[in-house]
Structure 1
Amino acid sequence: MPDTTPKDGFVIFDRVQKSYDGETLVVKDLNLSMPKGEFLTMLGPSGSGKTTCLMMLAGFETATHGEILLDGKPINNIPPHKRGIGMVFQNYALFPHMTVAENLSFPLEVRGMGKSEREEKIKRALDMVQMGAFGNRRPAQLSGGQQQRIALARALVFQPELVLMDEPLGALDKQLREHMQFEITRLAHELGITTVYVTHDQTEALTMSDRVAVFDDGRIQQLAPPDVLYEEPQNSFVAQFIGENNTLEGTVVEMKGTDRCVVKLTDGELIDAKPVNVSKPGEKTRVSIRPERVEFNKDRLQPGAHTLKAEVLEFIYMGDIFRTRLRVAGNDDFVVKTRNAPDQVRLTPGQQIQIGWLPGDCRALDA
């Protein structure tokens, strides 16, 4: 496979591999290039290789093969404290015996900075995370959200060009987590900091990132902006891992050019789909359709929509939306999401209905 990694990125992984036992590769031939100022999220299930990549970039793990470059310079043999990278961890990693100001002063002292310059930078970093009045407190006197703000301020205090974040919001409650997602993204863009963020939370990845790298089995399965990742998944793993997704099993029976194929579902029904991982008749496939792309209000069905019979299993009111679970072509977990509107049809379990979607919203992926 030709090497397609751009050589002018700010952060570059060039054919990087990592093995802990000399046999099993945790990271397999990783090629990745990030421009300066990008907010990139590494997303994936436990054991997919995302945290290992972050730790190799930080210098806490060594690549078994390949090269990591920062601003054009190879950093494989540079120790962590000399890479000039800010780090934020899930457990905050604050020194409990130091005040907030002393915690922030530490990375500046290590860099040999004078007292007045240190004080100025500490004040600015604390103001940045709205914690200006907390300099004399110790970590134990702060809430989880406040400690996370201090950890963020400490990562930013020496004005690094690159900040790495490993599940930094995992310990916070939902409302605070959403607020901090906004704060971190705002700060990163305002300060022009290149950010690599690791999470297994898809919502976090979609709302915060310029691009998302979806990891599975030590490889990047897809690297794309959030909307492309959601609307145009390149394989079944990405379709299932990002957001909610409906799948129907079938076999390709006809190719209609490059952008349309006919799939025979397990119950014998024929549907049109966009061929993504299929190229010829006879191939097994999983057809993927997002829940919000399916419609069962007859008057809202668009011209050219494909229709199928369905049985209602559950109709759940969720405030802003209704979530309907259906039996479609032998699949009992087919979900439709419709917004709560005055003309929305209310359904009852056991009801037989017609559902429809546009062929372009239906993707034929790998089986």
Structure 2
Amino acid sequence: MTVTPQDEAFVSFDRVQKSYDGETLVVKDLNLHIGKGEFLTMLGPSGSGKTTCLMMLAGFETATHGEITLDGRPINNIPPHKRGIGMVFQNYALFPHMSVAENLAFPLEVRGMGKTERDAAVARALDMVQMGEFGGRRPAQLSGGQQQRIALARALVFEPELVLMDEPLGALDKQLREHMQYEIKHLHERLGITVVYVTHDQSEALTMSDRVAVFDDGRIQQLATPQALYEEPENAFVAQFIGENNKLMAEVTAIDGDTVHVKFDDGETGTALAVANTGVGTRTLLSIRPERVTLNPTNGANAVAAEVLELIYHGDHIRCRMRVHGNDEFIVKVPNAGGQGPLEEGQKLTIGWATRDCRALDA
């Protein structure tokens, strides 16, 4: 995980808190340092505090406590229009009575730029999002994807060093959303700007980000690269929120270095990687990704009896729901490589997983 030291951070939240009623904290003691040129995503369920953090950075909300700095200067008391930050929202927020070019020229006019420079900047920004031909159209004459590109161009037209994006692809259909994810990612790489992105869509966060801050209950639960979040969740919330995940409850019977020995409720035993355990005799939640489970393993400490309850065809894989250690929601993803022997509902077989692929987390 890349750590941005506080003194090198481009954006810093230092002990930031936010309450709307003076009692309940929606953001709790937030410390977050974002590097220049980084693409950082704030990911979490509704009400987790991620959007409030973005709005405090933009200047639309005021921190109840703590300090937010941008490129070394405190911005708590600077109004939004003087922060020099580009913003992209889910609802595009384009002026319907203006043409596309006029929408893009507006933030430049506000900054007092002359007409010739303005026109050149607008043309540059439209080319950047492959919308050079659309300057004369009104927003209502554009598709959702085109409107989102114009909103993106407007956020970039005055060449800000920081762009904030709040669920910008939420209104688009799946295919277009995936296409726009790559476009934004490539644009970020090309321009070298710093992006702070808010979403509740985990695949979007994994696809686009340098680092992801997973929020829950007003706090960052884990801050890491997409790969580290998926492969090495530090607690049960992150394991459940990022990707699909099997969970099995067990009791810790011994801890041997970084390996934990467990006993399941049906009396069977197994081993896992010790991540967040309180000691022998306590409960633990085991986390295993569906694609890390093997059918009929030839060896391994975690070979268990399973029964196939349901098979769902997904094209590139078969999603098998199984009964394992009394849990009827255990999922195994079997690659559809053509050579796989046929599985049937009701079939009993042995499955297994490596100790390193099974993480013992907080119960």
**TM-score interval w.r.t. the shorter chain?**
over 0.9
SS at match of 1:22: coil
Cα 1:123–1:302 change in 2 (3 A) is: farther
Aligned to 1:282: 281
Deviations 1:333-364 (A, max 9, x none): 10001211132122111111100110000001
Deviations 1:33-59 (A, max 9, x none): 011000000000000000000000000
Root-mean-square deviation (Å): 1.1
Within 1, Cα distance between the matches of 2:205 and 2:341?
33
Are 1:321 and 2:317 matched, yes or no? Answer: yes
Are 1:32 and 2:32 matched, yes or no? Answer: yes
Within 2, Cα distance between the matches of 1:29 and 1:7?
19
Aligned residues of 1:5 and 1:31 also touching (Cα < 8 A):
no
Aligned to 1:330: 326
Aligned residues of 2:68 and 2:74 also touching (Cα < 8 A):
yes
SS at match of 2:222: strand
Are 1:252 and 2:275 matched, yes or no? Answer: no
Within 2, Cα distance between the matches of 1:250 and 1:303?
22
Are 1:107 and 2:107 matched, yes or no? Answer: yes
Aligned residues of 1:5 and 1:14 also touching (Cα < 8 A):
no
Within 2, Cα distance between the matches of 1:359 and 1:344?
24
Length-normalised TM-score, structure 1: 0.97
Within 1, Cα distance between the matches of 2:334 and 2:286?
21
SS at match of 1:180: helix
Aligned to 2:184: 184
Are 1:308 and 2:304 matched, yes or no? Answer: yes
Are 1:340 and 2:339 matched, yes or no? Answer: no
Deviations 1:245-287 (A, max 9, x none): 0000111011112x10111111111110111110410111110
Query: Which letter maps to 1:193?
Result: I
Aligned residues of 2:300 and 2:352 also touching (Cα < 8 A):
no
Aligned to 1:270: 269
Aligned to 1:151: 151
- Structure 1 segments, 4+ long, off by >3 Å, are 301-305
Cα 1:125–1:205 change in 2 (3 A) is: same
Aligned to 1:119: 119
Cα 1:302–1:137 change in 2 (3 A) is: farther
Within 1, Cα distance between the matches of 2:38 and 2:50?
17
Alignment: residue pair count: 360
Unaligned runs of 5+ in 2: none
Q: How does 1:44-83 map to 2 (within 5 A)?
A: 44-83=44-83
Aligned residues of 2:39 and 2:197 also touching (Cα < 8 A):
yes
Aligned sequence identity (%):
74
SS at match of 1:343: coil
Cα 1:302–1:238 change in 2 (3 A) is: farther
Are 1:92 and 2:84 matched, yes or no? Answer: no
Within 2, Cα distance between the matches of 1:196 and 1:354?
45
Deviations 1:171-221 (A, max 9, x none): 000000000000001001110010000000000000010000000000000
Query: Which letter maps to 1:363?
Result: R
**CA-CA distance at 1:6 after TM superposition:** 1.9
Aligned to 1:294: 293
SS at match of 1:354: strand
Within 1, Cα distance between the matches of 2:268 and 2:70?
53
**CA-CA distance at 1:7 after TM superposition:** 2.7
SS at match of 1:306: coil
Aligned to 2:224: 224
Unaligned runs of 5+ in 1: none
Query: Which letter maps to 1:323?
Result: R
Query: Which letter maps to 1:342?
Result: G
Which deviates more, 195-204 or 315-324?
315-324
Within 1, Cα distance between the matches of 2:99 and 2:29?
43
Length-normalised TM-score, structure 2: 0.98
Aligned residues of 1:14 and 1:68 also touching (Cα < 8 A):
yes
